[in-house]
Structure 1
């Protein structure tokens, strides 16, 4: 009584035709009437696909057209994680069941379209000599039937040339016709050959126009996230003529240390306030020069943009003042010293010598008793 039996399945098992196998699985096949998907054995029993890839393929095949089948969308439907789903999609793509195409829209956005083919072996192989080259690298999702093996299948076949009719034999003269000998059957008259039938016009199959060529996909897709605004150049808190003169001289002298930084007068006027902010914060001119010219990218295409970035991103903080460098004094803890009681020699804490608590209480009780007796 510990194992529950499915009585409905048992009754269905009794109706299975033929002898049941002694081992292995027993199929109870009930025809589907709605909500079913036809899956080929080439996919269900694929020797090189994992069970996860087969299950993902069956799931994608059962979904209606236009359903989102990205990795995150499939992870929301399945119990498998995103890594296993991504590996399964790569397996299906390697065996031709799945194709992911990057398509560029009219508004300069790039999207990824997923094409699933339920029977990739039926598609014409691109290297087959009789196969028609397809302009698109992936199968069209609207049709899974194989295309004609030759491009001449759509063109009408040339009409066969009729054979020339043989010339009719001349009729024999009446005196040449003799009666048959006795016992012999007369020879049958020769039947003239039938005139050849006119050639039938070949059926004109509808010529499907080739699909348009996919638009060119750029190697570097356009950015999808907006860029943060550019940080402004730093400026000194108190601009002075001396700071401006020193900053201008430092920028003009950069070309003597790094010839790539030969700046124009407009660039120097633009970057001088930022260098003045560094000088105001007690940065040494040699340190500023090394920060701006060391470890340069190769090739250096925009020297002014590099100086602008380094002057903004590497701005040092102002030097701390003398009060900021002083370590704050720790609060002094006053410890009450030990005292010795004059009556019982017991140690107790008290700022001044005297008696302990018990001796003080005893003295108070004695004083109260003497006052009561009086």
Structure 2
């Protein structure tokens, strides 16, 4: 049972102290007395009180506190700038990229003091993982010629803007669409359809998305880039058709092959070479 001890200063703040034996967290006065936003101090104290392995994201923090995601993000950025927090991108065994929050009990502490080991960066097992729409090329290929018809650069923004219809979290800004459009152009020039690109960019997204989706989309557009289209074979050269076979209009007995002559050599008064005329 906690025993309270009251200190009575002449004026100002008074403390009613208690000795805690369980369910408490030790915090630095440097953190608790930092000037600035009270939200930052509250978020830091809450993170330091959570056990390791607790899922953390901006959305989860916004559901816990009364503040919205904008103030929560600002508080996390301040804690990261002051050395109380670090965010690391790690790739899970299924190939998805997730954010790992590392909280430091003392600012600028070594990474080993956090007792957080990032997930190993392992390649997706080919037998169990969801295979990409196209394999990534082993070497940068030569640019393919642009197909006839509608220009690819006009279709790329429509593909990116349409991603929000498949997943509302993939809502891109105008600047992000402009930056990602050249990569989508390359896919279109290599024969990928808008539906194939959409499936590749939206399949197996992490839950939840803790950062802007543009980085994840850029990673998939780069890593799953399809190979260039093979060069078209030239059309075969067909032999010229033989001249038509016709009956001499002079003697009506000799068959000859000619595209211009209608009379045989005898009727024209020319000698017969072997095998050039046929008689019935």
TM-score grouping bracket, smaller chain normalisation? 0.3 to 0.5
TM (normalized to structure 2)?
0.42
TM (normalized to structure 1)?
0.32
Give the structure, 1 or 2, with the largest relative contact order (CA under 8 Å, sep 6 or more).
Answer: 2
